[in-house]
Copies of this chain bind each other. A is one copy, B any other.
Amino acid sequence: MREVAIIGSGMTKFGELWQKSMRDIYVEAALKAIDDAKVDHIDGLYVGCMSSGLFVGQEHVGALMADYLGFGNVPAVRVESACASGGFAFRQAFLDVASGMSDIVLVGGVEKMTDGADVTYALATAADQEYEVYYGVTFPGIYAMIANAHMKEFGTTREQLAMVAAKNHKHGSLNPNAQFPGLVSVETVLKSTMVADPLRLLDCSPVSDGAACVILAPLEIARKYTDVPVRVIASGAASDTLALHQRETLTTLKSVKLAAERAYKMANVRPENIQLAEVHDCFTIAEIVVTEDLGFFPKGKGGEAVEKGLTSLEGRIPVNTSGGLKSKGHPVGATGVAQVIEVYEQLQGRAGKRQVRNARIGLTQNMGGSGASSVVHIFSV
């Protein structure tokens, strides 16, 4: 297996981009990444996208993006794993370069969610249609069940959930691409509209449009393009039951644990070696559960860790320095690649006001649905 590195990145601002179509935003992010990497060609293209058929009536988006990008004859394909589509697209592009099939590969994620489709219905297709969706479940409801179980089992508090939102909005306020960069206090979260008890509006990530792209190359040629190639030192993936009720517990996401174990083993690192992480905070409770399952904190202590400031920019292990899904936005197919971009820029030392000092090893964790699929990548300079 060849060693693989990231040599460039580009993304759109996340938000309600009504004046642009899905292809526009993918191409915008892709051209920025191509400029950043200073490559004159690509050998292949991947698109992570969850539900373009339901959102904008367009499948076949791999070939579509190659076409509109002006690289109309390269191998191009779409990868889907619900909200982990971007992370899994990155994994497939990594395997493509690692195998020796391709050298310069563009991998991007995109989603156009605000063009009028029934967003709640489209997102619910990440859950089990026959055993969950049919009975009326939606994702705020699913994560509310997880939150209630976590609060009951470990004493996680309503305030600790709100602290995740407040921290991530603080980080996002330093990110020019964030959809909601405004600061949000714990009190404001606690007073926001109830969505699914105990989760309130400001516990939920927003509905977003956006795209994010990176360019991969074998390490041996990466130095031609950048002085600081960021190596992809591990890719771990796992799945779990789609339906929440079929799992042994609601408070551990088994796919996250397994994907992380596989990634740590491949990279030969331990959780305590990770210096920053972008994790899948689709709801505030998700960040708490995931930081436990990644091994950053003991099970049940994720809430306390936020309260103590361990996951803030100046903390022991900064989590979601980009603002996370919560503040930066969550165009579902783009999220996994946008996480990679944050870690890439942090490790290159160009994260501006939200730079984590001396960061050399970072991790991304992206998941689909309520964790039926998870993918973890570890990066190093």
* A residues neighboring B (CB under 8 Å): 1, 21, 23, 45, 50-54, 56-64, 66-67, 72-82, 88, 91-92, 95-96, 98-101, 121-122, 125-130, 133, 235, 237-242, 246, 254-255, 258-259, 368-369, 372-373, 375
The residues of B that contact A128 with a CB separation of less than 8 Å are 64
A-B pairs with the 8 shortest C-beta distances?
A75-B237, A99-B99, A60-B82, A63-B372, A63-B239, A63-B373, A59-B125, A58-B129
Choice from B72, B95, B258 contacting A239 with Cβ under 8 Å:
B72
Q: Is the interface of A mostly helix, strand, loop or mixed?
A: mixed
Complex-state Cα separation, A96 to B97, whole angstroms: 11
In this complex, what residue of B is CB-closest to A375? B75
The residues of B that contact A96 with a CB separation of less than 8 Å are 95
Shortest A126–chain B CB gap in Å is 5
Shortest A271–chain B CB gap in Å is 20
Choice from B73, B80, B122, B375 contacting A80 with Cβ under 8 Å:
B80
Q: Are B59 and A80 touching (Cβ within 8 A)?
A: yes
In this complex, what residue of B is CB-closest to A255? B73
Q: Are B368 and A63 touching (Cβ within 8 A)?
A: yes
Work out how many copies of this chain go into the complex. Answer: 2
In this complex, what residue of B is CB-closest to A62? B81
Q: Are A1 and B99 touching (Cβ within 8 A)?
A: yes
The residues of B that contact A101 with a CB separation of less than 8 Å are 1, 95, 98, 235
The residues of B that contact A62 with a CB separation of less than 8 Å are 80-81, 88, 239, 373
Q: Are B373 and A57 touching (Cβ within 8 A)?
A: no
In this complex, what residue of B is CB-closest to A80? B78
Shortest A290–chain B CB gap in Å is 17
Complex-state Cα separation, A99 to B99, whole angstroms: 4
The residues of B that contact A73 with a CB separation of less than 8 Å are 238-240, 254-255, 258
Other contacts beyond A67-B241, A73-B239, A76-B81: 16, CB < 8 A: A1-B101, A23-B130, A62-B88, A62-B239, A63-B373, A72-B240, A73-B254, A73-B255, A76-B373, A77-B237, A78-B80, A92-B92, A95-B95, A95-B96, A95-B101, A99-B99
Would A67 and B129 be within 8 Å (CB), given that A50-B59, A92-B92 are in contact? Answer: no
Q: Are B368 and A242 touching (Cβ within 8 A)?
A: no
The residues of B that contact A375 with a CB separation of less than 8 Å are 75
Complex-state Cα separation, A73 to B256, whole angstroms: 10
Choice from B56, B81, B239 contacting A129 with Cβ under 8 Å:
B56
Shortest A107–chain B CB gap in Å is 13
Shortest A365–chain B CB gap in Å is 14
Task: List 24 A–B pairs whose Cβ atoms lie within 8 Å, in order of A's numbering.
Answer: A21-B130, A45-B239, A54-B54, A54-B59, A57-B129, A59-B80, A60-B82, A60-B369, A60-B373, A61-B80, A62-B81, A62-B88, A63-B82, A63-B369, A64-B242, A67-B242, A67-B372, A73-B238, A75-B91, A75-B239, A76-B237, A76-B239, A77-B237, A78-B79
